[in-house]
């Protein structure tokens, strides 16, 4: 993790003289940025130990009693541009350190489909209507299947239970979403909620709402969502988990959907990487991959390259 601590500032230098006034001088902390080494992308079905990263050379900005390292956005963007050169389809990504507000965005203006990551918002919409402890057993089972196993039929049932697109959008407004609108109509195995268009900013807002005391979701219900996202089956534990250091906790939901229009895959990963009092909300959305595995490699490569500049994995 990038250390955040008090930065010493030279105190006033007092020059005394019989008739001279009091003089003071104060140094300012420069704000500059550097970069960490770029790792190669790796596939991850579970969180693996990562190689040690060379020490970050990041200047710091004074914020009250803390110092917050700046995000080297230009350097990260250049790395991503090099990595994505020749890879098909649009890519958009965002990482936000929730405690400090440090943020990085890549092509944040893109609006891509959610695929199965919409299931997180479906569950949050459900819990905004009815707390987890008051849900019938069958509905809880559907929630478990929908998040942990990405069961589409369970998602269809819960989509109907929240009132379809209207209920989905109402929850989105409560959660502060600005770019995500449900697709009206009956669901046919993903083709309603799965083709919802969204932004990385909205997906990061959703993730932040799972750990914020200001969230419209009650703490007990937030814990249930995080519990399910932290227990997805091994075959679906890819994506942003590839960017986690050893010992960090990951709560995620992934999505993958073959588009009818062009037979290419949308591959998405959203979630939280957590450790030592730090929460990183991460969203990577892609479209246009020829195969799911290709899309996964793109998502993981992007997530890793961004996260390496947010904190250093311990050696």
Question: How many of the other CB atoms lie within 10 Å of CB of 151?
Answer: 19
| Digit-coded pLDDT (tens) for 227-265 | 999 999 999 999 999 999 999 999 999 999 999 999 999
- Sign of dihedral through CA atoms 175, 76, 294, 241? negative
Report how far apart, in Å, the C-alpha atoms of 67 and of each of 4, 5, 70, 244 are: 6, 6, 9, 24
Give the chain's domains with CATH numbers. Answer: 60-307 (3.40.710.10)
Give the pLDDT band of residue 69 (cuts 50, 70, 90): confident
Percent of the chain with pLDDT over 70: 77
Q: Is 197 helix (H, G, I), strand (E, B) or coil?
A: strand
Exposed e or buried b per residue across 40-71, where buried means at least 16 C-beta atoms within 10 angstroms of its C-beta = ebeebeebeebeebeebebebeeeeeebbbeb
pLDDT value at residue 276: 81
pLDDT value at residue 27: 38
Exposed e or buried b per residue across 191-212, where buried means at least 16 C-beta atoms within 10 angstroms of its C-beta = ebbbbbbbbbbbbbbbbbbbbe
- Sign of dihedral through CA atoms 250, 244, 256, 234? negative
Q: Is the pLDDT of residue 55 over 60?
A: no
Question: How many of the other CB atoms lie within 10 Å of CB of 18?
Answer: 4
Q: Is 118 helix (H, G, I), strand (E, B) or coil?
A: helix
Cα–Cα distance for residue pair 311/315, rounded to 1 Å: 12
Cα–Cα distance for residue pair 282/297, rounded to 1 Å: 16
| Digit-coded pLDDT (tens) for 103-158 | 999 999 999 999 999 999 999 999 999 999 999 999 999 999 999 999 999 999 99
Cα–Cα distance for residue pair 12/23, rounded to 1 Å: 8
Residue ranges with strand state E in the chain: 60-63, 66-69, 91-97, 103-106, 112-113, 197-198, 249-258, 265-275, 278-289
| Residue 250 zone, left/alpha/beta (φ > 0; ψ -120 to 50; rest) | beta
Q: What does pTM read for this prediction? A: 0.79
Q: Is 165 helix (H, G, I), strand (E, B) or coil?
A: helix
Question: How many of the other CB atoms lie within 10 Å of CB of 24?
Answer: 9
């Amino acid at each position: 993790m990038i250390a955040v601590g008090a930065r010493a500032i030279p105190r006033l230098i007092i020059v005394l003289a019989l008739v001279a006034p009091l003089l003071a001088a104060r140094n300012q902390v420069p704000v500059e940025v550097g970069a960490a080494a770029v790792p190669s992308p790796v596939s991850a079905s579970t969180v693996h130990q990562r190689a040690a990263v060379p020490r970050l050379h990041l200047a710091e900005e004074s914020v009250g009693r803390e110092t917050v390292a700046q995000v080297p956005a230009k350097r990260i963007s250049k790395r991503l541009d090099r990595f994505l050169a020749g890879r098909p389809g649009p890519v958009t990504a965002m990482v936000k350190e929730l405690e400090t507000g440090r943020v990085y965005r890549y092509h944040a203006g893109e609006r891509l489909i959610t695929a199965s990551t919409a299931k997180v918002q479906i569950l949050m919409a459900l819990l905004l209507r009815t707390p987890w402890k008051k849900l019938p057993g069958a509905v809880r089972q559907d929630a478990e299947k929908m998040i942990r196993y990405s069961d589409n039929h369970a998602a269809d049932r819960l989509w109907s239970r929240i009132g379809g697109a209207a209920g989905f959008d109402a929850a989105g407004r409560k959660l502060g979403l600005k770019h995500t609108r449900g697709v009206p109509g009956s669901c046919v195995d993903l083709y309603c909620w799965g083709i919802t268009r969204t932004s990385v900013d909205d997906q990061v807002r959703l993730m932040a709402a799972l750990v914020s005391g200001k969230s419209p979701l009650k703490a007990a219900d937030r814990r249930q969502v995080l519990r399910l996202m932290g227990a997805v089956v091994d075959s679906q534990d890819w994506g942003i988990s590839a960017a986690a250091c050893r010992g960090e906790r990951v709560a995620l939901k992934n999505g993958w959907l073959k588009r009818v229009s062009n037979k290419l895959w949308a591959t998405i990963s959203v979630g939280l990487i957590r450790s030592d009092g730090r929460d990183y909300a991460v969203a990577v959305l892609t479209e246009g991959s020829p195969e799911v595995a290709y899309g996964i490699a793109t998502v993981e490569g992007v997530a890793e390259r961004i996260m390496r500049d947010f904190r250093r994995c311990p050696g």
